[in-house]
A and B are shown apart, each in its own frame.
Chain A
Amino acid sequence: MIESKAKSSWILYLVMAALFFLSVVFNEYVDIAGIRPDILLIMLIFLSIREKAVIAICCAFAFGLLQDMILPGNVQYWGLAPLFKTLLIFAFLKLFPLISRLRGFSFQLVILASFLLYFIFYTMFYYSGFMNSFAIFYRYALPASMYTFVIYLLLNMIFPQSDQAR
């Protein structure tokens, strides 16, 4: 049973690594009206649920660093992705005893809220001073969260998360 779970985790991580690689290489094919999903964020949520807290928090920082350092995107906000990814996963891990009690729709709602929270903070910081908060929310944070959540749901159908325990 334990072996089968470990094997399933490895398959999941391989699938996500492949997805991440494809989303980087074919980033314009996954682009819908300029919006792209954050595969790294999905990976972090899966890691937080399945792996030890230390691994999850280290990965949150490492993935954020990977996003900012290796994948060029902006020059004035290096460190923004590791900052918010680390903080989000820290909060998620701290609340995990509560979250893990939830089942089905409520659990998925918490995941959506986590994505939304991350993108709200990220985009508000990134675009602050250039647009009003509401415009930032509906133009960037909300669509990106929804797109990421849809990809998460598809993966969750193949690798169910809500019944997993660390």
Chain B
Amino acid sequence: MLTKLYDFIIRKHLEILTFIFVLISLVLLSQTENNVVLQVQNTWQDMTVVFQKPAVERQRKERLVDENSQLRMDIFRLNQEVARLQNLNSENTRLREMLGFKDTVSYELLPTLIVYKGYMDGNSVVTIDKGKKSDVQANDIIIDKEGLVGKVLSSAAGTSLASMIIEPDIRVSVRINPSRVYGILRWHHGNTFVIDDIPSTIDIQPGWSVTTSGLSEIYPPDIPVGVITKVLTSENGFTHYIEGTYNVSFSNLREVFVLKNDRK
């Protein structure tokens, strides 16, 4: 009996090995966002960031000159905007005082660099060069100057893993402005998203902006997400099928900010 079993194992060792490996792979497939795996990835990224960072820094420097001239124009435009907002803010403060409200939300921005963007194309998990030493924690928000990028999944001492909102399974609670309609946004393809299940009786126009709603426990309100490009009617005829493009160009991302939310 044992001899037969031994012979069988010897004869079919390749099939047996393949079966075991497939089984392990299937078990792994059922382990979404496993903390042990995240920790392994984090530790590895912490060790290899020394090799990755110089290449990233070099590429970054090449882009700095272009960005500098663009930023000068932005500063001029934003100065005008700041002046206008200061007026509005003082008016807002006065009105809030009259109503007895207080600002309850304050954000702290931590500049950080994306040092790794995944092995294959279409990957939506990136590594940033700030970790626990800089007080970066899971569920901190990642933003770019254009808007929402994603959230931190886990952090090691010097690096953190962050998942971008172009991850196929991620949903973001958003608000469409100026109509202030709430919806759930999901990635579509490339740099586009869709929002569906909004009643077709509500008027929504292409060009309107999409921001975070603040209804989520993770994403704070009013972070720009994208712009609506198409408003279609869904197959059932009762709801809109809204397509849009993200503000952030995910393929060109390099410098981002970690947003520390005091609400947490």
B123 contacts A73, C-beta separation under 8 Å: yes
Q: Which of B44-52, B235-243, B256-264 contacts A (4 or more CB under 8 A)?
A: B44-52
B33 within 8 A of A: yes
8 Å CB contacts to B: which residues of A81-140?
82-83, 86-87, 90, 93, 123, 126-127, 129-131, 135, 139-140
A67 with B119: CB separation less than 8 A: yes
A64–B125 Cα distance when bound, in Å, is 17
Do residues A74 and B31 form an inter-chain contact, with CB atoms below 8 A?
no
Minimal beta-carbon separation of B77 from chain A (angstroms): 30
Q: Which of A29, A78, A126, A130 contacts B32 (CB 8 A)?
A: A78
Interface range for B:
35 or more
Which residue of A has the minimal Cβ distance to B56?
A28
- Residue contact A82 to B24, C-beta cutoff 8 Å: yes
The answer on a CB contact under 8 Å between A123 and B122 is yes
Q: Is B26 touching A130 in the complex (CB atoms < 8 A)?
A: no
A26 vs B187: C-alpha distance in the bound complex, in angstroms? 27
Contacting pair B123 A83 (CB below 8 A)? no
B105 proximal to A (CB < 8 A): no
Q: Tally the A-B contacts, defined by beta carbons under 8 Å.
A: 139
Instruction: Tell me if B73 is interfacial: C-beta within 8 Å of chain A.
Output: no
Interface residues of A in 65-84 (CB under 8 A from B): 67-80, 82-83
Chain A residues closer than 8 Å to B124, beta-carbon distance? 73-74
Q: Is the pair B118, A28 in contact by a Cβ cutoff of 8 Å?
A: no
**CB of A19 within 8 Å of the partner chain:** no
**B31: chain A residues within 8 A (beta carbon):** 78-79
A69 & B37 in contact (Cβ 8 Å cutoff): yes
Q: Is the CB of A130 within 8 A of B24?
A: no
Q: Name B29's closest neighbour in chain A (CB-CB).
A: A79
Main secondary structure of the interface of A (DSSP, over half): helix
Q: How far is the CA of A64 from the CA of B204 in the complex (A)?
A: 45
Residues on B with beta carbons closer than 8 Å to the beta carbon of A44: none
Q: Write out, one digit per residue, whether chain B residues 84-126 have a CB within 8 A of any chain A CB (1) or not (0).
A: 0000000000000000000000000000000011111111111
CA distance A129 to B188 in the complex (A): 10
Please, could you name 25 A-B residue pairs with CB atoms under 8 Å apart, sorted by A? A27-B117, A31-B121, A34-B122, A57-B14, A57-B21, A58-B17, A69-B40, A72-B41, A72-B45, A73-B120, A73-B123, A74-B123, A74-B124, A74-B125, A76-B32, A76-B168, A79-B25, A79-B27, A83-B29, A87-B22, A130-B188, A139-B189, A140-B121, A140-B122, A144-B120
13 extra interchain contacts, Cβ-Cβ under 8 A, other than A57-B21, A74-B125?
A25-B51, A36-B120, A60-B21, A64-B25, A70-B41, A71-B116, A73-B118, A75-B125, A79-B25, A82-B21, A86-B18, A129-B168, A144-B121
